[in-house]
Chain A
Amino acid sequence: MTPLLQLFILIPLIGFLISLLIPGKKETLISWTAFTVVGLHFGTFLVFVIYWLLHNHPTLNLKDIVVFKTEGYEFLVDFCFDKITAVYLFVGAFLTFLVTVYSRYYLHREAGYKRFFNTILFFYLGYNIAIFAGNFETLFIGWEILGICSFLLIAFYRDRYLPVKNAIKVFSVYRIGDVGLILAMWMAHHLWHLNITFLQLRNDELVHSELETHSLIGVFISLMILVTAAVKSAQLPFSSWLPRAMEGPTPSSAIFYGSLSVHMGVFLLLRTFELWEHQTSVRILIAILGLSTSIVATLIARVQSSVKSQIAYSSISQIGLIFIEVACGFEKLALFHFAGNAFLRTYQLLVSPSVVSYLIREQFYNFIPRKQTIEDSFPKKIEYSFYTLSLKEWNLDLFLNSILWNPIKFLGRRLDFLTIKRLLLLFIPAYIIGLITLYTKPTIPSEIHEYLPTFFSFIGLIMVFKAFTERKSIVLSWMLIIMNHFWIALAVSFNENFEYSQVHLYLSGVIVAGIIGYICLLKLQSAEKDLDLNQFYGHSYEHPKLAFIFLLSCLGLAGFPITPTFIGEDVIFTHVHEDQAILAFFTALSLIINGIVLIKMYARIFLGPHIKTYHETPYKSS
């Protein structure tokens, strides 16, 4: 039974690849492919699951497909299947299947017909990798795919300003979750000295014994997982991204943000339940987070006057309750609640345009002027205060800005003196000195040596801060990102003696993607003259192919699982020791911002309202 698991990854993978090859004009063929792939997948699953149930539904584990191996490190892809996977797969396959059928007609004649189905299939691939994942590494691949698909689907209407802006916003928040996962992986690796599979977490001895001696590390891992889960499931303080994500065609909003994507946080908690099962403090924390989210989200939902944001916030509040259920250990209830909530919200979103005729008809026959609600019985001052606060979404955006983005912008602006010239003059020589010291390590006093990795990673961090705020030169921004990777590599190389091949693996993708992206930029610059990062240019209108290649190189440079850099990143992290929290933090922060900068660059150059107005261009407010 176990080897069959690969099938569930292969079907969407092959389907996705086929869908890429079909010409965009062939609507029927495109939708037929999507529909067949998901249908076949769903059908296979149904047969499989009956067989599985008849055989006492054992937990299956398809082990150890070694993708990369070197001394002291292995990158394993591992799949498992249990009832959590089964439920998530059933809901996911069922809804995706229905929505592909739905979209066949719904998207007819839409400009991005092919793009839409490509993304849906890619999403479906990522979803399956994530729910079948048997270890953190595999999960992370799926997680990354889900993130990028979200970006692509929110920015589906790429010629308008708001979808693009919101896509960046959501991607940025997701990125925080990604780093939570990286850090959790990093610590877990040090804790168990192996790539632990989720199945092994059930081994009480292994988990319990280690955690007892390293309780702080255990709490750290759990917290990182919680952050990741909270981001993905739009819990506090990240909630406000969910309504903003409803920018794509309604069916995509319905399955992504109504159901599948938004419940992935719950999935992560269920998957890692055994890890934090005995950490009472963490369980209490999860429950408190869930409770406060559901209360705040309910209040916000109550004042929403647009259909989709109302559904978004009520879904968040239900997911808050699911968090509580998970924290209490009611796994089955949580799964049941997840499925019900996913179905309900998907359907509500799909029928949301009907709300006008339905509710107006209801109003016509049952109108009661100023219907009293429970809040009307509150003292006025309390009522008004809470109403205002809820309408302002409890200032969640402001809060995130002030703790996350504003400090980075502030630091970045201090670096305004860096121009391309100065950058080359200052940091290239510095890097060379760094390299020389690397090869002559023994001569450096150990007190200094100890601080060098952190120092180098700090310089790397400065590079991305600068890139984050750079608005004038796209080439400078691009180079800063590349240099950031080099500094990280240098920092880690200092940290430990290991084979340089690992660094090469890490940098190989960076170099290839860096060069390709650079060529794209040069090409575009020669065609379009004035280019900066101060506004959206929308050049994908005239240069769709270039936009696609540049997107790929951005993804490569961001360590997305299409180049060896993805594995390299993971390898690099294993060389950061568990007591080097600062180094780990710097490196992780670099990676987060790195990804955000790249996506922002792509968006500003290629997406948004086209700068040339010889054709219909939308308002900025749409």
Chain B
Amino acid sequence: MKTKKSSFDEHEVLHELKHFLPAQAPLKDFIHHNTLHAFQNLKFYDATRNASKMFGYKVSLSLDEFRKLYKSHHIRKDILEKMVLERKGSEHFNEWMGHLVSKKYNTEIEPRIGLMRSYWKNEYHIDLDLLIQPILFRILCSYLDQGISIWNFPVSHKGFLDSIREMERNSFTSFFKSERVRKLLLNNTCEIKALLELVVGDESFYEQYLFDQQFAHQGWSGMVSAIEDQPQSLLDRKKISLHDLIVFELLLEIDALDNKFGEIWTPLANRINNKPIDLFEEVPKTELDEVYLIWQDAFEWTYYDEVLAGIKTEKKSNNAIANKSFQAMFCLDDRECSFRRYLEKFDSSCETFGTPGFFGVEFFFQPEHGKFYTKLCPAPVTPKYLIKELETNSKRKKDVHFTKQTHSLFRGWIIAQTLGFWSAFRLFINIFKPSMSPATASSFAHMDKFSKLTIQNNNVTDIENELQIGFTIEEMANRVEGLLKSIGLVKDFAPVVYVIGHGASSVNNTYYAGYDCGACSGRPGSVNARVVSFMANHPDVRSVLKSRGLEIPTETQFVGGLHDTTRDEIVFFDENSLSPKNLESHHKNELIFSKALDINSKERSRRFESINTKLSPEKIHEKLKIRSVSLFEPRPEYNHATNTLCIVGRRGLTKNLFLDRRAFMNSYDYTIDPEGKLLFGIMKPLGPVCGGINLEYFFSRVDNQKLGAGTKLPHNVMGLFGVANGADGDLRPGLPSQMIEIHDPIRLLIIVEHFPNVVLETIQKLPEMYEWFNNEWVNLVAVNPETEEFFVFKNGMFSNYEPLKKSVGVLSDVTSLIESSQENLSVYELN
């Protein structure tokens, strides 16, 4: 994988380490990303094979699981045979079918990581991890703490190591037991290399030793590395670096060894007679690897083939709707998939669109009285604008149970005997009649519905902390134009155009940020929806747009809104600015929305054990709302679980398909973009955003223990930025089992409606974008819009694909289907 050097280059090794450590940001900024991002420069199967051997990750379903899926026809026989034929030819066909279906393999995973450090245990009979980790984690957590502890880390402005040094210098007690180590810290610069010489002794071992050491607690190391790179991800900023962590850990190791053996012990390298295999050495391909690979492909294509067959057979309906009642824009999020379907069902003259949920407006948002700015656009973007919220009148409610007074001795004494009994009552109410409380993270609380926003910039010198307050007319026009063109909405406007962001509500959920809109950096999209509507309604903006050839009729009005995906509720903003006629039709539309929300909650409820899906939509909806505020409900919703598809094209391409809430849908009209200029803007974020979501679910599902967070039921909140098991555990990045249990690990299939050559040119425009496709982290199919042929992208080119499945089931009403099963459903054609 990389060339070996015998000398130790600290800078390079730290860089490498940071590259491989988990990159999850603190909880409040939880954003999905590819768990194996460090391997993205490799082809998917090479990456997983290497990751598994190096770090011991399980990277696919187990052989037994695949075989079970095959037996239950969830992996189709014809697909599997096709895969084997393609890869092995007819002469090895029978042999390989045998390998796949029945041959016994040793499937144990024996990772390389940890081998070197295991010599401590085997040769020195000392368990360094056990001796060091609890105190190391506690010190780290206290240093980084965002507001749990009452008594803060006494020194913090100096950086981690210097703060420790400062405390050691002025203290009667010490973190160390060995005087030597204390002196080392106080009188020495503590170079990593010098410490490693003491501990390990042989320079050629250093790199692997540090990998072993840091990957023994990859959660904490990853968090330190993430905070080092993005200090702004903590509101109460902390200066820390992976370098400091390593130095401190090495000191603790020397301390533990000194304490056990006195100051004379021989460095580790002297006791290693058999140097463990190098971590980065090429991982050979085995027969078993290929077996996994074929199974995975067959599993994926069983699903893909059905979807493509569905697209092929369904009746396309790209005919323009004559008298549009309304148009509505949603986030491309897979959770909006079914909601849009129901809206279109209940009002056949409406039209819906999907686009990333920040709606093309990027800015920082400052709620009134807020001490910080919140970024409301995709994470990699750094906006130059600030939008402030003014004139709010909602009040934040407090809950004394979370306050620090309850933990003090004397006030605690009084509180226990007064509030304690109130707690009993609250607990009772919370269990038998759950309701909104200050503990709930509510999407509607993100912005006060009746507040004012500083959307329009009055003066370009109006700048706060280097951010321009509001947008100028020109800037607004650019954004509205970009948004409308990208989704193909350039003519035939309906009188009312809704722009609906989304967010989620939950309680007792440390992953709350992951449930909100990823395109808004893990926040609800309400402000963006309102801002872009304001822009599109602005007469000056409209005249600029008109001069550019994009004419929005004066009677057309945009209305912002927010869809709460957990509670299936919707709120609209600035409705009073609607014209009387539009207001009237808005009231009519609201009924449609409300009906669609009810039935949407019914469809969602089929996944929930505690709700009987056969009940009426209204009843289910009530239960669903209660569920979202129930303390004891670890699954307020299933978020992106089961996502597998991303459709880029006109609504007509899949409008009549039942896709079981598994598709991201980005509206795009190839006819107004023959060269694929707009397509580039659409496809650029699909890898990191949709692909990232998909792969995080994928890997958390296949190895929930090492790549996911395990079950969330015992989680303990550490310093408000992470979760761990119990009091002394490592941080657990990744997704908990409750989020991924129904997810099938299938890579995202992106289906683009355009000519293959245009798609190819588009994805090749940017190397990091091309990597996603060429290395197969996502799969790509182009649909030729004229011939409706499919072209699969593989090894740098598109080749024709004819679905094996000839037709899919036909349904007129999905009710009986959704009532029938909790499992993933097949693709159906709706008529």
Contact = CB atoms under 8 A, between A and B. Distances in A.
Contact of B148 (A247, A304, A381): A304
A250 interface: yes
Interface string A366-377: 110111010110
A280 interface: no
Interface in A235-283: 243-244, 246-251, 253
B109 A614 contact: yes
A103 B634 CA distance: 10
Interface string A317-354: 11001000000000000001101111110111011111
B715 to A, nearest CB: 7
Interface string B365-402: 00101111000000000000000000000001001011
Query: Quick one: which of B152, B216, B713, B724 has the most chain A CB within 10 A?
Result: B713
A580 interface: no
B217 A621 contact: yes
Contact of A310 (B149, B235, B367, B399): B149
A103 B512 contact: no
A106 interface: yes
A583 B14 CA distance: 60
B149 A381 contact: no
A577 interface: no
A248 B714 contact: yes
Nearest to B139: A391
A358 B439 CA distance: 6
A622 B730 contact: yes
Nearest to B417: A340
Contact of B711 (A157, A343, A344): A157
Contacts of B826: none
A98 B427 contact: yes
A365 interface: yes
Contact of A618 (B406, B705, B741): B705
B426 A347 contact: yes
A340 to B, nearest CB: 3
A247 B129 CA distance: 19
Contacts of B172: 381, 385
B716 A308 contact: yes
Contact of B110 (A160, A340, A390, A613): A613
Interface in B329-352: none
A472 interface: no
B727 A246 contact: yes
Nearest to B708: A616
Given A294-B409, A352-B717, A357-B441, A621 B145 contact: no
Interface in A372-392: 373, 375-376, 380-381, 383-385, 387-392
Nearest to A380: B170
Contacts, number: 326
Contacts of B472: none
Contact of B406 (A246, A249, A314): A314
Contact of B741 (A109, A306, A343, A620): A109
Given A318-B412, A353-B510, A365-B396, A306 B718 contact: yes
A617 B705 contact: yes
A57 interface: no
A353 B715 contact: yes
Interface stretch (A123-131, A295-303, A491-499, A525-533): A295-303
Interface in B494-538: 507-510, 512
Interface in A397-444: none
A318 B148 contact: no
A110 to B, nearest CB: 6
Contacts of B156: 370
B820 interface: no
B173 A385 contact: yes
A94 B717 contact: no
Interface stretch (B189-197, B294-302, B625-633): B625-633
B631 A351 contact: yes
Nearest to A382: B172
B423 A105 contact: no
Contacts of B704: 616
B703 interface: yes
B547 interface: no
Given A98-B427, A298-B408, A358-B438, A622 B710 contact: yes
A310 B408 CA distance: 10
B640 interface: no
Interface in B428-457: 428, 431-432, 438-441
A305 interface: yes
A448 to B, nearest CB: 42
Contact of B402 (A247, A251, A355, A380): A355
Contact of A305 (B149, B426, B703): B149
A359 B146 contact: yes
Nearest to A337: B417
A107 interface: yes
B512 A357 contact: yes
B427 A346 contact: yes
Contact of B396 (A336, A361, A390, A612): A361
B730 A367 contact: no
Given A306-B727, A357-B441, A301 B705 contact: no
A619 interface: yes
Contacts of B155: 384
B725 A162 contact: yes
A538 interface: no
A305 B142 contact: yes
Given A157-B711, A616-B706, A384 B406 contact: no
B424 A343 contact: yes
Interface in A598-622: 612-622
A548 interface: no
A356 interface: yes
A369 B236 contact: yes
A373 B287 CA distance: 63
Nearest to B441: A357
A616 B58 contact: yes
B427 A350 contact: yes
Contacts of A365: 367, 369-371, 396
A176 to B, nearest CB: 21
B132 to A, nearest CB: 11
A616 B718 contact: no
B412 A107 contact: no
A314 B409 CA distance: 7
Contacts of A612: 108
A101 interface: yes
B807 to A, nearest CB: 35
Contact of A351 (B27, B62, B154, B401): B401
B726 A305 contact: no
A163 interface: yes
B550 to A, nearest CB: 38
Interface of A: 94, 98, 101-110, 156-157, 160, 162-163, 166, 243-244, 246-251, 253, 294-295, 298, 301-314, 317-318, 321, 336-337, 339-344, 346-348, 350-367, 369-371, 373, 375-376, 380-381, 383-385, 387-392, 612-622
Given A249-B711, A347-B427, 12 more contacts: A101-B431, A106-B634, A301-B407, A306-B148, A306-B727, A321-B409, A354-B402, A360-B28, A387-B154, A388-B174, A612-B108, A617-B705
21 contacts: A102-B431, A106-B634, A163-B725, A246-B714, A298-B408, A301-B150, A314-B406, A318-B412, A321-B409, A343-B423, A344-B401, A344-B419, A357-B441, A359-B720, A360-B235, A367-B235, A381-B171, A387-B153, A616-B58, A616-B705, A618-B706
Q: Across chains A and B, which 10 residue pairs bring their CB atoms closest together, nearest first? A: A340-B420, A347-B423, A354-B439, A621-B730, A305-B145, A314-B407, A343-B424, A344-B420, A357-B441, A249-B713
Interface of B: 27-28, 56, 58, 62, 106-110, 129, 133, 135, 138-139, 141-142, 144-156, 167, 170-175, 216-219, 235-236, 367, 369-372, 396, 399, 401-402, 406-409, 412-413, 415-421, 423-424, 426-428, 431-432, 438-441, 507-510, 512, 609-610, 630-634, 703-706, 710-720, 724-730, 732, 738, 741
